Amino acid sequence: MNAEASPAARSLEARHAPSLGGFNLTLLAIEIRRLLRNRRTVVLQLVVPIVLFLLFRRRAAALEGTRLTAAGTMIGIAVYAAMFAATSGGAMVSIERALGWSRQLRLTPLRPAAYVAVKIATAMLLGLVSVAVIYGAGAIDGVTMSPSTWVATGILAWVASVVFAAFGLFMGYLLPAENVMQIIGLVLGVLAVLGGLFFPLNSLPPAMQAIAPYMPTYGVAAIARFPLVGGAFDPTWLLSMVVWTGAFALGAMLLFRRDTRRV
């Protein structure tokens, strides 16, 4: 043990790590309740995607003959809703940092990986609600797909939110609370365009089409729409999703460690 370590750090080292690093259903339930108390944020995350869906849905008729028909538009907006909600849920950690909560966690045996996992799970719950709301709006608006396609695309759109739950955590630890949502909103808008969530990628300038496959939204959008459009599945879509999720989660854990050292 380091002789220069603080009493709090020595006490922590002497403790036995809890199972799963501290990840448990009680902690997850507490995080979900904390998230739902912020009603203004939750409502905003549900209303904005619906407005976008209604706007871009009106363009779907002009896109018939491409792969981005009414159903494809709905799936793209559902992916955006999930990523917007999950990112915002993860980024709320910036408020905790401002209040000093991250430093308080240094006094507990909670492991960074467990804490990040709890935050990602909480953010994904909000992403699931967002996808359900968009699909409900799509059904009411007359979008038609086979029952299996409704289920498959909805699940895939939701699962894709894991990338952005990790992204939100990373940005929440990286940026100060007063700037995080403004920057995230801009970044998500750019990523949505480059991922082809709102309109076909072939309508973008060639330079943007060239960099689109390297964006975290590209593979996510392609996977979510795959049950609808069919064709050959490209393994690089899944690889992109795994790599981006791992990179953001690792970055969040490293930044969490940095914050919890400040005691």
Tokens 């990286």 identify what position? 174
Write down the pLDDT at residue 149.
94
Q: At what angle do helices 180-194 and 216-229 cross, to 10 degrees?
A: 50
Residue 28 located in a structural domain = yes
Task: Identify whether the C-beta of residue 163 lies closer than 8 Å to the C-beta of residue 241.
Answer: yes
Residues 104-133 as b/e (b if ≥16 CB within 10 A, e otherwise) read ebbeeebbbbbbbbbbbbbbbbbbbbbbbb
pLDDT confidence band for 239 (50 / 70 / 90): very high
> What pLDDT score was predicted for residue 20?
55
Is residue 61 scored above 90 in pLDDT? no
| More confident call, 84 vs 147 | 147
Tell me if 70 sits within 8 A of 206, measured CB to CB. Answer: no
Average pLDDT over residues 215-239: 91
> How far apart (Å, rounded) are the C-alpha atoms in residues 153 and 117?
24
Q: What is the rounded average pLDDT of the residues 110-126?
A: 76
pLDDT of residue 200: 78
Q: What is the pLDDT of residue 1?
A: 45
Confidence of residue 67 (pLDDT cuts 50, 70, 90): very low
For the chain, the domain total comes to 1
The pLDDT score that the predictor gives to residue 93 is 74
Domain range holding 107? 16-260
Write out pLDDT tens, residues 192-207: 888 888 877 887 888 8
The Cα–Cα gap between 178 and 186 comes to 15
Helix segments in 15-111, DSSP class H: 25-37, 39-57, 70-91, 93-99, 101-104
Instruction: Tell which wins on pLDDT, 14 or 229.
Output: 229
Q: Is residue 3 part of a domain?
A: no
**Lowest mean per-residue pLDDT among 45-59, 134-148, 199-213:** 45-59
Q: What is the pLDDT of residues 142-192, one digit of tens each?
A: 888 999 999 999 999 998 878 888 888 888 888 777 777 788 888 888 998
| Cα-to-chain-centroid distance, residue 84 | 6
Across the chain, mean pLDDT equals 78
pLDDT at 252: 83
Which residue in 232, 52, 60 sits closest to 223, CA to CA? 232
Q: How far apart are CA 134 and CA 25, in angstroms?
A: 28
Residue 247 lies in a domain: yes
Higher-confidence residue of 59 and 55: namely: 55
Rounded to whole angstroms, the Cα distance separating 83 from 77 reads: 10
Q: Which residues are CB-neighbours of 190 under 8 A, at least 6 positions away? A: none
pTM (two decimals): 0.77
pLDDT of residue 257: 76
- Please give the pLDDT value at position 233: 92
Query: How far apart are the C-alpha atoms of 197 and 179, rounded to whole Å?
Result: 25
Within a domain: 7 = no
Range 137-157 burial, b when 16+ CB lie within 10 A, else e: bbeeeebebeeeebebbbebb
Q: Is the pLDDT of residue 140 over 80?
A: yes
